[in-house]
């Protein structure tokens, strides 16, 4: 959870909401639009990046 707290502290809420909305439109996220990182949102983001073949160190750490 430390990584999620850090992401929440360093990312603007409106940016998170925009990303959540886009992931929801693309059917990668099905949760509530909270404006904060949580485990479901983070896993949705990792899944989206994996589908796009975008390597992210977070994928290696989280999987």
**Half-sphere CA count of 12, side-chain side, radius 13 A:** 3
Domain that holds residue 17: 2-62
Task: Give the ranges where 1-63 is alpha helix by DSSP (H).
Answer: 2-10, 13-25, 39-51, 57-62
pLDDT at position 53 is 78
Q: Which of 4, 9, 6, 1 is nearest to 45 (CA)?
A: 4
Residue 58, pLDDT score: 66
Per-residue pLDDT of the chain (63 residues; tens, 9 = 90+): 688 999 999 999 999 999 999 999 999 999 999 999 999 999 999 999 888 876 666 655 654
- For residue 13, how many other CB atoms are within 10 A of its CB? 11
The HSE-up count of residue 7 (CA atoms within 13 Å, CB side) is 15
For the chain, how many structural domains are there in total?
1
């Amino acid at each position: 959870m430390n990584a999620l707290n850090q992401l929440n502290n360093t990312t603007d809420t409106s940016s998170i909401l925009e990303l959540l909305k886009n992931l929801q439109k693309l059917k990668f996220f099905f949760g509530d639009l909270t404006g904060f990182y949580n485990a479901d949102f983070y896993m949705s983001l990792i899944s989206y990046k994996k589908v796009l073949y975008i390597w992210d160190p977070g994928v290696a750490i989280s999987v």
